[in-house]
Structures are given as C-alpha cells and as structure tokens.
Amino acid sequence: MILDSKIPEGPLAEKWSRHKFNLKLVNPANKRKFTIIVVGTGLAGASAAASLAELGYNVKTFCYQDSPRRAHSIAAQGGINAAKNYQNDGDSVFRLFYDTIKGGDYRAREANVYRLAEVSVNIIDQCVAQGVPFAREYGGLLDNRSFGGAQVSRTFYARGQTGQQLLLGAYSALNRQIHAGKVTSYTRHEMLDVVMIDGHAKGIITRDLKTGAIESHEGHAVLLCTGGYGNVFFLSTNAMGCNVTAAWRAHKRGAYFANPCYTQIHPTCIPVTGDHQSKLTLMSESLRNDGRVWVPKTKEIAEKLRKGQIKISDIKEEDRDYFLERKYPSFGNLVPRDVASRNAKQMADEGRGVGATGLAVFLDFADAIKRLGEDTVRAKYGNLFDMYYQITDENPYKQPMRIYPAVHYTMGGLWVDYNLMTSIPGLYALGECNFSDHGANRLGASALMQGLADGYFVIPYTVGDYLTSLGFKPVDKSNPAFEQTRLEVEENVNKLLSLKGSKTVDDIHKKLGHIMWEYCGMARNEEGLMKAKGLIQELKKEFWNDVTVLGENEELNLSLEKAGRVADFIELGELMVDDALNRRESCGGHFREESATADGEAKRDDEHYAYVAAWEYTGDNQPEVLHKEPLVFENVKLTQRSYK
C-alpha cells in the first residue's frame, strides 16, 4: 500500500478551507442513520463525541475509567496554546505554525500543523462559551502567559489545572448529548480489538471490566482517541491506566504505526526515590520561568553533598554551575524540553547530579524570592510548591527543588492522513493516539490544543466524507467477522488467565521500563539498541512462560487488566527500538549519540531522514515493514535548531 497523506492542493493558508469545501457532506436527515464509535473520552474523544452527536450522528463512547471525566487529559497543568494574539505581541497563525514545525525539529507535516494553528483560535471561543473558567485579568479579559520558551504570550490557562477545566468543558458537552439520547456512554470498558469487514473497520470488541463480558459493538466508523503510550517505560508522568492496547490491536489489524521512537522526556519532574515508585510527578514547566537550574561545579563537591558531608548552603556561588544559562545564553533556563532534559542527564552522567541517587539537578528559586518576594512567588507557583512539599517532605521556599527528566508524552502514534484516517478505512485516530502534529518534539501547551482541534474542528468535517461513500445501510451485525473477532479476544483472555508462573505482571513491566529507559530513552546508540532488542525478545518469552495472572474473567480483575496491557507494551517496545535503530539521525526527542554536532547538540540528517516512518505489522514475531512518507517543506526553511 502506498501512503497517501491526502494533503490538499493549494497555498498553505487555503488548504483547509478548500478541503472543507471539497469534502462531501452528509444530509442532516441521513446523519442519524450512521453510528460512530469513539474510544476514549479525553479531550480528543469527548470533544469529538459531543460534536458528532450535535450534528445528528449516533455515538457510542468507551473509556476504562469509571467516568468519562477521569481521562488522563484531566492531569494537564500548564495551559493551552492559541494564536489569538490578544496580547498584541506579534503572534499570528503563521507564527504558531512556524514555532510548532521548528519545535518539532522539522519532522511534522506542514499542512496538518498549519490547520492546527488555524483552528486553535476557535478552541478558546468554544471553551469560553461552555463556561470553562480560564484565568482573567482585572479588566475581565482573558489572561495569557508565555510557556515552554515561546517568545509570545499565547498560552491560556486555568490556574494549575487547565486540563481538568478543558476536559470538564468537553465532558459537559458530552453529558448534554448523553441526556439527549444521542450518545451512549460505556464506562469501565476496555477496547480489545477492531472488527474488520472487507478491509474496513466496522466495530470493536470490548471487555466490560466489571463483569468480564466480552462484547462486540458495530459502527460505521471507529475513532481511536486512546491517548499516549508513555507507560511502556513503566515510570512516567502518565496516569496508571494509560496504555497502548487499543492502538496496538488496531496496528495488528493493519493500521500503520508512525514514528514510535519519538518520545518526550520532560525536564522538570520529581526524581525517583525508590523501587516502590509507581509513577512520576510532573512539576509544571512554568517553574523554569523563574527557577534557575544548577548542579555543583565539580564531581567532588557533588559527591560530598550526596553523602551529606556538606549542605547545599555550604556551596559557594562560584561553585555552582548554572549549566543551561552557561551553555545557552539567549534562552537560558527556557530551552526546549528535549535540550533541557539531555543536559540534566549529562550532568548526572558526569557525576555532578544531586540527591541521594545522584539522578537529579537543582531548580532554585532563591533569586526569584529575593527579586519578587516570597508572596509573589507563592501567588505564582504556590500549588506546585505545595505539591512538591507534600511528595518530598522538602520545603522549596527554603531549599532548591530537586528535579529530573521523566517520560511524559509520545509524539509517535497511529499513522493518519490529513483526514485523521489511519491506513484502515473507517478507522480514525485523534489526539495523542495519532502521530500527526508534533514531529519529533512537542511544544508545551500544544497537546491540549491538538486534542481539541481534532475533536471539535477536524473530525466533524472529515468523517462525513467517508460515511457518504458507504451508502446508508446499517452495519451487518450478523457478519461472521463480529463473532470471529470476539472469539479471538476471548481466547486471548483465557490464554492470559492460564499463565501461572512465578513473576508478577509488574515485575515484567518494571524490567521492560528499565530496558526502554536505559537504551531507548534520552540518548540512544546502535549498540545499546541492538542489546535492547535482544532483551525485549527474551522478556517477551519470560512473560508468556513465567508470569502469573490470577483470578477469573467474570470479575474486576486487576492482574488480568494489567497483563493484557503489558503484553502489548512489550511488543510496542520492540518496534520503538526498531524505529530508533532505523533513524540514524538525531531529531527532537530522539537523540542518536552517533549523530551529534561537535559541541554535543542533536544533529539532523534532512537528506536521508526527512520522512515519517510508518510501520506495517506483518505477523507475530515477524519483522515489521517500513513505509516512508516523505516530508515536503514549502513554507519554512529547514535550519538546525539553535538556542545558544
């Protein structure tokens, strides 16, 4: 199959308008003849489901939590970007487009990113109309802040809980449609497979997590809005239940997986304390606006500090290395995430890390407190400081925070065309689940924007075009594919339940996490990746031979839920390694040590790697086939990113 991105003709700024005009429309009276399945109720899923139901389609939504409102989008703190230019500081759709393309290290599609920037302005209008309580200025207008190193203030926020407020807005719109009878919501349901008929997606198989019932659901189109796969690393800032299962099972049915190795490691997280750790907590990036990052100048001082022979206050100013300010004088502490993370790792590798494990750097507010006063700092960051205090038992007003990078976001995901359709006709992917807009590195406050853009403003147009091609027939539920796929899922569940080895699922998951972090994390090289591939293959065997899954299917079953997800993570892990091996260049979050500039910065290879790597599954334990979608840049000039 040839990858057709379906990017519309015409000048960049007109592509989306023209495309909308060319898409076929479904007559209002016919919309109710179609059913659309939406898996996931985060920003992408909830906004899509509500908007489609408003148009008149019948919608079924699914999520694994007990309520649609608890999707992982709820945890986003910092904010959402939009090219409103309310601050008159030089922002525009083109600037947001440009920043996103550049921030993504020129590995995203121009047309998709431009559309994202274009509809970003509508998102804010929509959310305000719903009653989302964004931060405001005294004059009553919306407040903005600069975020993640952006040179304009285009980030809208709701104190430290932008994600929760945006999601509750989308959830309220969804609730209105549930009340109207246009949406049926299935909670505590996990999607385990896609039903394929004549090469098209026609439904899904789910497991009711409460009763174990394995059911099939039919639909004219299926939208996967199931979030990212950061939990392949075991430890990440993602919620505990975030998983790749829905996307992975779709991949096995023919949906290509694009750029799986692009992972974002966020620089400001609370460091790991011990083996018991179950997840990592993000400290908002906004902290870098006022906090200064440093480590002791020498290994010796760092070691004394770690051993408790000296205190932080004993380290003289000249013995502190503010390494980001030193290396990147123009951006300083506000360099992009990938750069900040790699530098922190480098400090730890040099033996200059702090904290008991040495895997941390300081984020110091002493200067900010001196300059602005403790009250101002409290007003700005109080909730974050409290959270830090709560978790670490250390008071950040009195001593610097300790931070370290952690897995946070996955830019890779299911390959989609401009219409957000995967390589399976009728199967779409929205939000973090797809690969489309962030290239090799995502800018802060852009994931919320993308999820809502996809759900509110893209899919309502593009899905209709596909539906009109189907005619108005109901999906044939008696087609044997439904029962066949259901039986296959049941068999897989039984196979998992028959495993009675000596390891727990978490044992295996933690091992996988170590392998991924060590060899496919912040820095990657050929030798390490080859080693990781072997280790993952062994781990897969260990899982199927020696893991234990307890209980039965017909109940809430913790070990069964985890086992299914970890089995998929193991397979995904191997593909991530393959993808990282294939891409012998450094770009964004993917740093290949073999491809660096003289001073150790990431070096792209546009001549050979300016493409999207889309992987096709060919069978169990078979190598996947690589398809390349060339990236064409007509509106920006490719440059090496520099933040010096």
Partner 1 sequence: MSETTMNLTLKIWRQKNQNEKGRFVTIEAKGISTDMSFLEMLDVVNEDLTRKGEDPIYFDHDCREGICGMCSLYINGQPHGPKHGTTTCQLHMRSFHDGQTIVIEPWRAAAFPVLKDLAVDRTAFDRIQQAGGYVSVNTGGVPDANCLPIPKVKADEAFESATCIGCGACVAACKNASAMLFVSAKISQYALLPQGQAERWSRAQAMVEQMDAEGFGACTVTKACEAECPVGIKLTNIARMNRDYFNAKFFKEETVHH
Ligand X SMILES: Cc1cc2nc3c(=O)[nH]c(=O)nc-3n(C[C@H](O)[C@H](O)[C@H](O)COP(=O)(O)OP(=O)(O)OC[C@H]3O[C@@H](n4cnc5c(N)ncnc54)[C@H](O)[C@@H]3O)c2cc1C
- Scanning residues 422 to 481, which ones bind ligand X (CB under 6 A)? 431-433, 445-448, 451
Alpha carbons 45 and 72: distance in angstroms, whole number: 11
Interaction between residue 201 and ligand X (CB under 6 A): no
For partner 1, the closer CB: 163 or 573: 163
Q: Candidates 58, 559, 586, 595: give the one binding partner 1 (CB under 8 A).
A: 559
Interaction between residue 191 and ligand X (CB under 6 A): yes
Choose the binding region for partner 1 from 59-67, 295-303, 332-340, 440-448 (rule: CB under 8 A). Answer: 59-67
E strand or H helix that includes residue 115:
helix 110-130
Alpha carbons 488 and 245: distance in angstroms, whole number: 15
Picking from 544, 463, 563, 562, the residue whose alpha carbon sits closest to that of residue 501 is: 544
Q: Kindly tell me the burial class for residue 541, based on how many C-beta atoms sit within 10 Å of its own C-beta (0-12, 13-18, 19 or more).
A: exposed
Alpha carbons 434 and 419: distance in angstroms, whole number: 12
Residues 371-410 that bind ligand X (CB under 6 A): 408-409
413-433 CB burial, b ≥16 within 10 A, e <16: bbbbbbbbbbbbbbbbbbbbb
SS3 at position 243: coil
For partner 1, the closer CB: 124 or 522: 124
Interaction between residue 176 and partner 1 (CB under 8 A): yes
In the list partner 1, ligand X, none, the entry touching 420 (Cβ below 5 to 8 angstroms by class) is none
Q: Candidates 239, 269, 360, 440: give the one binding partner 1 (CB under 8 A).
A: 239
For partner 1, the closer CB: 346 or 548: 548
Interaction between residue 163 and ligand X (CB under 6 A): yes
Choose the binding region for partner 1 from 43-51, 462-470, 525-533, 601-609 (rule: CB under 8 A). Answer: 43-51
> What tokens appear for 255 in the block?
């949906």
For ligand X, the closer CB: 358 or 564: 564
Number of residues near partner 1 (by CB under 8 A): 81
Q: How far is the CB of 559 from partner 1 (least distance, A)?
A: 6
SS3 at position 205: strand
E strand or H helix that includes residue 374:
helix 374-392
Each residue 500-539 as x (binds partner 1 by CB under 8 A) or -, in order, gives --x-x-x---------------------------------
Catalytic residue among 337, 352, 402, 641: 337
In the list partner 1, ligand X, none, the entry touching 2 (Cβ below 5 to 8 angstroms by class) is none
Question: C-alpha distances in angstroms, 494 versus 191, 203, 204, 487, 489?
Answer: 16, 22, 19, 10, 9
SS3 at position 157: coil
Report DSSP letters for 584-611, one per residue.
Answer: -S-BTTB-BTTSB-TTS-B---HHHH-E
In the list ligand X, partner 1, none, the entry touching 273 (Cβ below 5 to 8 angstroms by class) is partner 1
E-strand stretches of 112-253: 155-156, 183-186, 189-197, 200-208, 214-218, 221-224
Interaction between residue 75 and ligand X (CB under 6 A): yes
CB distance 136 to 143 below 8 Å: yes
In the list partner 1, ligand X, none, the entry touching 42 (Cβ below 5 to 8 angstroms by class) is ligand X
Q: Candidates 108, 173, 225, 347: give the one binding ligand X (CB under 6 A).
A: 225
> Which residue type sits at 177?
Q
Interaction between residue 551 and partner 1 (CB under 8 A): yes
Say whether 249 is catalytic.
no
> What tokens appear for 441 in the block?
């590195």
In the list ligand X, partner 1, none, the entry touching 495 (Cβ below 5 to 8 angstroms by class) is none
Q: In angstroms, how far is the first alpha carbon of the chain from the final one? A: 43
Q: How far is the CB of 410 from ligand X (least distance, A)?
A: 8
Q: Candidates 158, 244, 334, 631: give the one binding partner 1 (CB under 8 A).
A: 158
**7: number of Cβ within 10 Å:** 15
In the list partner 1, ligand X, none, the entry touching 352 (Cβ below 5 to 8 angstroms by class) is none
> What tokens appear for 97 in the block?
């487009």
Q: How far is the CB of 602 from partner 1 (least distance, A)?
A: 30
Question: C-alpha distances in angstroms, 138 versus 133, 135, 159, 215?
Answer: 14, 10, 15, 53
In the list ligand X, partner 1, none, the entry touching 179 (Cβ below 5 to 8 angstroms by class) is partner 1
Q: Candidates 64, 262, 415, 435: give the one binding ligand X (CB under 6 A).
A: 64
Residues 397-436 that bind partner 1 (CB under 8 A): none
Residues 442-481 that bind partner 1 (CB under 8 A): 456-457, 460
Q: Candidates 173, 324, 348, 420: give the one binding partner 1 (CB under 8 A).
A: 173
For strands 183-186 and 58-62, give the pairing: parallel
Residues making contact with ligand X (CB under 6 A): 39-45, 62-65, 71-73, 75-80, 162-163, 190-191, 225-228, 237-238, 242-243, 245-246, 282, 408-409, 431-433, 445-448, 451
Active site residues: 337
